[in-house]
Amino acid sequence: MEDGYTARKNYSIGEILEKFDKENGTPEIAELKKIIDQYIEETENQISFIKTQVPGNNRIEAMKWIESNVSEELKPYVRKAYFGTLQKGDVLKKRSGKYKTISEIGVAIVKPDHSEKVKGWMRYWHKKAKKVKGFLEKNNTGKPLRIFDTHCHYYLDSYEGCRNELLDLLKNTGVRHIVMPAVQYLSNFRMLEMEESCDPGFIHMVFGPCHPRYLWKEVEYWDEDRWEQFRALIQEHRPVAIGEIGLDYYSYPDFKDDWDRAMQMNFFIRGIEEANRAELPVILHIRPVTSTIELPYNTDRDAIEILRQHPIKNGAVIHCFKGRAETMKAYMEVGVSYFGIGGMISYGFKDLTDTARIMPLESLQLETDSPFVKPFRRYSEWKDDISSLSAPNTSLSIYEIALEVSKIRGCSPEEILEAAYDNALRFFRLQE
């Protein structure tokens, strides 16, 4: 490949190929097309060589050899080459069939300067933290309140450039505990890196094999050796729970209907077994299909049947719950005692509002799912600080969520915060 070329943005390779057909004379597109062609040639030659090294005609032995000896990047293509299904140019695409971006084939990208944006975020967060801290310290209980965010993802790239400063701000504001579930296997190790630089007892890790939405990318790597590694990781570092595991039938391009459903259900069952083996509670991700498409199955019905046949032995919470009251009760009948309420409570969804109104207080947990699911903000709340619209969600939003729940239930936000805090301590088996 060409060394030293830097592109002005991270193009999709498909975009480059399309632009090259239309704009052959554009210097940047022409240069990138040359790099892409070189990448195809070098990568396919490398795959052809590796294929000659795959031992014997036994498919099982061949797959084991590929798993142990081939890089993660090349494994899917080497497998296709072994079975004779690799086509010219396949190396430019991901498993989903989408084209890779040019950064994924090694092209450097001009990095935009996010420093001013991050400074704007921090100004917004400091302003918000001042309001939250004032409420926590001066409230109707006569004692300082504390915040427990039961679901957030501060290891994600959304917080690059501000992570440590933000976490310090959260601690100084009154956020006493944050729980971080994994979304992919690599997430477990990113959390371990974070924990080393944080105060003990502030960040609590939840190890997971893979979030159901991204499972199609990773499922082929989960052989017995990987599960053994996962168990060793749990044994060594002892997370507070296992998750996120569950089912996600949401409408997105990677969903594969019946194949994906069966894969997710089998993996969900295995995740429950591993949590029971480790004697840990579970954080469940159960997301239904959107109302815009028709499927012959139901996420909640599938999940409830799995939980009935494969009971969770040490407690479970469904995070980002937004189901009807009867759905909540059906989950409670199969051993789910807790339900995470987040920013969606401010969106005005009738089913969620009705459920939050009658939910047993001892079943309530509060979460932000940071950096996602920000509470609704009216124009008057951001018109003077437009930069705050791009700011990721943070645990400071727990205050707004508690306020919204208290309005729905006709009680004080202090009562909601205290109950949710105690519930989280009990569920995650933490001592103050």
**Mean pLDDT of the chain, nearest integer:** 89
Contact present, 409 and 360 (Cβ < 8 Å): no
132 and 99 within one domain: no
Whether the per-residue pLDDT at 145 is higher than 90: the answer is yes
81 shares its domain with 139:
no
| 1 belongs to a structural domain | no
Q: Please tell me which residue, 396 or 110, carries the higher pLDDT value.
A: 396
pLDDT score at 254: 45
> What's the pLDDT at 257?
64
Please check whether residues 61 and 135 belong to one and the same domain: no
In a domain, 50, yes or no: yes
CATH number for 167: 3.20.20.140
Asked if residue 292 belongs to a domain, the reply is yes
Name the pTM for this structure: 0.75
Poorest-pLDDT segment among 142-151, 283-292, 333-342, 371-380:
283-292
- Convert the pLDDT of each residue in 243-272 to its tens digit: 999 999 875 444 556 778 888 999 999 999
Q: Which domain holds residue 418?
A: 115-428
* Domain-located, residue 174: yes
- Residue 296: per-residue pLDDT: 73
The reply to whether 197 falls in a domain is yes
Q: Which of 174-178, 209-213, 329-333 has the lowest mean pLDDT?
A: 209-213
163-173 and 115-137 helices cross at what angle (nearest 10)?
10
Distance CA 222, CA 308 (A): 25
Q: Does residue 209 contact residue 230 with C-beta atoms inside 8 Å?
A: yes
Task: Check whether residue 244 and residue 315 sit in a common domain.
Answer: yes
Verify that 243 and 300 share a domain, yes or no: yes
Taking a C-beta distance cutoff of 8 angstroms, is the pair 365, 243 a contact? no
**Residue 291, C-beta contacts closer than 8 angstroms, at least 6 positions apart:** none
* pLDDT of res. 1: 38
**Does 303 map to a domain?**
yes
Q: Report residue 379's pLDDT band, with 50, 70 and 90 as the boundaries.
A: low
For the stretch 288-313, pLDDT in tens is: 876 555 667 789 999 999 999 999 99
Residues 30 and 156 in one domain: no
pLDDT digit string, tens, across residues 382-392: 767 777 788 99
State which of 109, 137, 172 marks the end of a domain: 109
pLDDT in tens, 21-53: 776 557 888 888 889 999 999 999 999 999 989
Q: Calculate mean pLDDT across residues 86-96.
A: 84
Domain boundary among 77, 109, 141: 109
